[in-house]
Amino acid sequence: MMIVIRTQYRENYGTESEPYWKFKGGYDYKVTNVPTTASTHEVVDAVRSKVDYIEYEGPMSEQYILDWSVEDDGYLSEFEQSQLEYDGAILYPEPTIDYKEIV
Residue 66 structural domain: 2-101
The per-residue pLDDT for 24 is 96
The per-residue pLDDT for 42 is 84
Q: How far apart are CA 89 and CA 64, in angstroms?
A: 28
Closest of 70, 29, 35, 75 to residue 53, by C-alpha: 29
Residue 101: is its pLDDT beyond 90?
A: no
Domain count across the chain: 1
Residue 103: is its pLDDT beyond 80?
A: no
pLDDT digits (tens, 9 = 90+) for 8-61: 999 999 999 999 999 999 999 999 998 888 887 888 788 788 788 899 999 999
Q: How far apart are CA 4 and CA 7, in angstroms?
A: 10
* Better pLDDT: 78 or 43: 78
